[in-house]
Structure 1
Amino acid sequence: MMENKSNIRLTAAEMSSLWTQYINDSLAVCVNTYFLEKSEDPEVRPLIEWTVDTAKENISIMNDIFTKEKFPIPIGFTDQDVNSQAPRLFSDTFVLVYLRQMSSIAMESNAATLGLVTRPDVVAFHKRVLQVGVELQDKTRDLMLKQGTYVKPPTISTPDKVDFVEKQQFLSGFFGKKRTLTSIEITHLFLNIQTNAIGKALMGGFAQIAKSDEVKQFLLKGKKIAQDHIHLFSNFLIKEDLPVPMSWDTAVSDCTTTIFSDKLIMYHVAAMIAAGIGNYGVSLAASPRRDLGYRYASLIPEISLYAEDAANIMINHGWMEEPPQADDREALANK
């Protein structure tokens, strides 16, 4: 008799991926329901609506898995965390950029998750999330190209021939003549400028609508960090006459009405900080020029401490849901 693989217990990787995805999708429903209410662009509206519907479908699938496993369903975010009747905070163009950024994060996280999960129903679910992430990436890219708002990475000359590195000078960067940036290094610089520009605009908007002064100050600090990092990365490109991605500061309105709860704002920003740390780690590994590698290495501790500030604020206010944890065997033995 064949074993029913859907009755196998969830692994730690499967629990964590479903738990995280559930909270992320509940946030996506809140944020994009508000965006949909405010959207005026007839080409952007269908993408926002599709995103909301997809997140709701994901939640329904995960609810079924959690119920079957007698796994406590996360609280995540609800209608109480969003005021859809508030005035517009971001332009439709920025919402499109935001959706594209969220689809990139979804693709990265679910591609990694698929290397860890084994139960057929969980594998199928994460394949679905990955596929819709790719679909949203395609939809946003196509519309941005059509509307003339898509910012492409810099172009460089095509190599004449295949070359191999012959001298350690390839790694140098602090003293003497520096080699020019590789296409890989340029790509990571461009990506990190772009993600910081999106984060800066998002935190600037959130700072305007946050209720708690502590949260406002945290967001303003993050906005400054993002601006500093944009400046540092941009200098590397400017020195080689390469273009720098645009900022999105003008995409934020003057709205100060409460739209999202401070709990939702803090979770959202914390998740983006985590993605940023991951980006810096990958960029460090892909950037052999010493001055560039050193810059990434010096920024990771700074952003990690900022992430710790976010966690402390969330814990102090009772906003951080606890992920599934291993049994404390010592505590059980002492009962």
Structure 2
Amino acid sequence: MSSRKPEVKPTNIELSCTEIGGLWGIYLQESMTVCFLTYFRHHLQDGQIVPLADEAFQIAKNRMDKIKKFFQAENFPIPAAFSEGDVNLTAPPLFHDTFTLSFLYMMNRLGMINYAFTASNNVRLDVLDFFNECIHTTTEMFGKAVRMMLEKGIYDRPPKMNYPEKVEFVEKTSFLDGLLGAKRPLNAIELSEIFFNIERNYFSVIVMLGFAQVMEDKKLKEHILRGKKISESQINLFNNLLMQEDLLGTVPISMEVTGSTVSPFSDKLILSMINILNSVDIMLISHALSLSMRLDLTAHYTKIIAKVMSYSKDTFDIMVEHRWLEQPPLTIDRKQLLQS
């Protein structure tokens, strides 16, 4: 029997499940971001975008280093995540320079949501400080991306609406109607959710188009194109809703895919990105559903969630089949221990 004593720590507050899950998930996402930005930075020629991409790359690397220190201090295994082997820098540019700006905008917009949610689940103060720092730097980077997109004329602002003249309260239960007969106008919250769902799905369409264009495996290409169609159907649905409200539809992202057919990314990295986009879509469509107060909107969102969940399940199965899906940390299987 070993007589070695455990290492003495200044404090012995171990990571809880929320801190482990948050740090583990963010490490994988930042590792993925590093891979994409490594490739984008290699081909970038726009002198305005290069410094912003460099800053975002360094932020992601620093976050990974800090998470490594958390895990090493706890003798916790570092996730395999992604590496230089998942990026092919010899491949020609797959996206035009402005897509890097769209990527930074969208990833930081989603990051603000993700980091705030993750921070709210943490109670160990050093981990909480780390996520608070992530929220701060992500918000700053988002603002810089928006500012540059406005300067370049590629940012489509959310729809405007008239200011109300006075405070009003709901007087009729028909406020919830919308499936049949007359519908009340969209409220500000519903309109915001529709706009950002269109914007997010346009981003997904561009990403899926690029991935499908360079994918050699026919089955994987078909799966990617199926995801692209799901995003396109959401765009069409939401734009039609806006047109029915006498509001113009929106096309926030221009064509940003080049003619390259050489894949710059591993199939694992591509499918992992799609897996994250699926998770985000389910989360944000559910959020929109919870805030919508017109029954036709709730019906639409419910159908969309079912489609995306089905596609997400198939993506999951593909990743498991190819051993591309790294398993999140599990609790101890007590039943197996008792049976041994």
Please tell me the TM-score bracket, short chain as reference: over 0.9
Please say if 1:51 is aligned against 2:62.
no
| Structure 2: runs of 5 or more not aligned | 1-8
Give the equivalent residue in structure 2 for 1:90: 95
CA contact (8 A) 1:266 1:310 kept: yes
* 1:210 CA drift (Å): 2.1
1:7/1:62 Cα in 2 relative to 1: closer, same or farther (>3 Å)?
same
1:16 to 14, 18, 21: 21
CA distance in 2, matches of 1:309, 1:173: 33
TM-score, reference length from structure 1:
0.96
Question: Hey, which bits of structure 1, 4+ residues long, moved more than 4 A?
Answer: none
Give the match for residue 103 of structure 1.
108
Residue matched to 2:47: 42
1:288 counterpart (286, 290, 293): 293
- Give me the TM-score of the superposition, normalised by structure 2: 0.95
Q: 2:216 aligns with which of 211, 219, 237?
A: 211
Shift of 1:246: 1.2
**1:153-172 matches, cutoff 5 A:** 153-172=158-177
Q: Counterpart in 1 of 2:5? A: none
Are 2:73 and 1:68 equivalent residues in the alignment?
A: yes
List gaps (5 residues or longer) in structure 1: none
| Other-structure match for 2:258 | 253
Identity of aligned residues (%): 36
Summarize the Cα distance change of 1:209–1:332 in structure 2 as closer, same or farther, 3 Å threshold.
same
Q: Deviations over 1:75-122 (max 9, x none)?
A: 100000001221111122222111111001111111011111111221
**Structure 1 residues 183 and 6 mapped into 2: Cα distance closer, same or farther (>3 Å)?**
farther
- Superposition pairs of residues 200-279 of structure 1, within 5 angstroms: 200-246=205-251, 248=253, 250-279=255-284
Deviation string 1:54-83 (CA, Å, 9 cap, x unpaired) is 111111111111111111100100000001
Matched, 1:33 2:43: no
State the distance in 1 between where 2:89 and 2:126 align: 34
| 1:124 Cα offset (Å) | 1.4
Letter of the 2:19 counterpart: E
CA deviation string 1:199-246 (max 9, x = no partner): 011011011122322221110000111111100111111112223221
For 1:154, the aligned partner's letter is P
d(CA) in 1 for partners of 2:252, 2:134: 29
Q: What CA deviation, in whole Å up to 9, does each residue of 1:255-314 have, x standing for no partner?
A: 110200010011111101101111111111111111111100111111001000110000
**RMSD of the alignment, in Å?**
1.3
Task: For 1:216, give the aligned amino acid.
Answer: K
User: Whole-Å Cα distance in 2 between the matches of residues 211 and 5 of structure 1?
Assistant: 53
Partner of residue 316, structure 2: 311
Aligned residue in 2 for 1:188:
193
The count of aligned residue pairs is 332
Give the Cα separation in 2 of the matches to 1:99 and 1:266: 19
Cα distance in 2 for partners of 1:249, 1:226 equals 15
Amino acid paired to 2:319: M
Maintained 8 Å contact 1:6/1:119: no
Take 1:131 and 1:285, find their aligned partners in 2: how far apart are those partners?
A: 27
Equivalent position of 2:181 in the other structure: 176
Q: What residue is the counterpart of 2:85 in the other structure? A: 80
